[in-house]
């Protein structure tokens, strides 16, 4: 089953869209969302979300809040929040994220490191036991 944009993220239009027949080389940085449906080589950094479309071929290290992969990525991915590899997605590289999901059919060839957030790390509260005095 093919995925469309509504399956990837909760926005109507990405701030930056690289079309299916477009080839881009270089460094891409954005405060907004990026969707790649064509070929990209270089590095990608976004404050928001990055979507790698089903027909996309990306050779780049990727850094973003959330990364959704339906196409092919060769490079490391750092998602400060969530990484999703969809059923048609393939990642050949190391990934770091707070949360990750891989749908059946999705492939990750590399290592994964899960980041802890300060909210997740429990703080130890000391307990004091007091002995009652015996008379």
Q: Give the C-alpha separation, 36 to 18, whole Å.
A: 5
pLDDT tens digits, one per residue of 73-85:
999 999 999 999 9
- What pLDDT shows up at residue 54? 93
What would the two tokens of residue 87 be?
A: 């059923």
Q: How many CB atoms lie within 10 A of CB 89?
A: 25
Per-residue confidence in pLDDT tens, the chain, 135 aa: 444 445 455 445 678 888 888 999 999 999 889 999 999 999 999 999 999 999 999 999 999 999 999 999 999 999 999 999 999 999 999 999 999 999 999 999 999 998 877 555 555 565 556 556 555
- What pLDDT shows up at residue 39? 96
Q: H-helix or E-strand containing 78?
A: strand 77-85
């Amino acid at each position: 089953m093919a995925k469309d944009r509504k399956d990837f993220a909760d926005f109507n239009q990405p701030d930056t869209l690289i079309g299916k027949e477009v080839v881009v080389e270089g460094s891409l940085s954005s405060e907004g969302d990026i969707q790649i449906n064509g070929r990209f080589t270089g590095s990608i950094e976004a404050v928001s979300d990055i979507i790698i479309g089903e027909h996309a071929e990306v050779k780049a290290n990727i850094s973003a809040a959330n990364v959704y992969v339906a196409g092919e990525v060769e490079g490391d991915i750092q998602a400060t929040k969530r990484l999703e590899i969809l059923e048609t997605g393939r990642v050949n590289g190391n990934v770091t994220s707070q949360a990750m999901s891989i749908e059946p059919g999705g492939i990750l060839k590399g290592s994964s490191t899960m980041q802890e957030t300060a909210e997740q790390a429990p703080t130890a509260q000391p307990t004091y036991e007091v002995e009652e005095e015996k008379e």
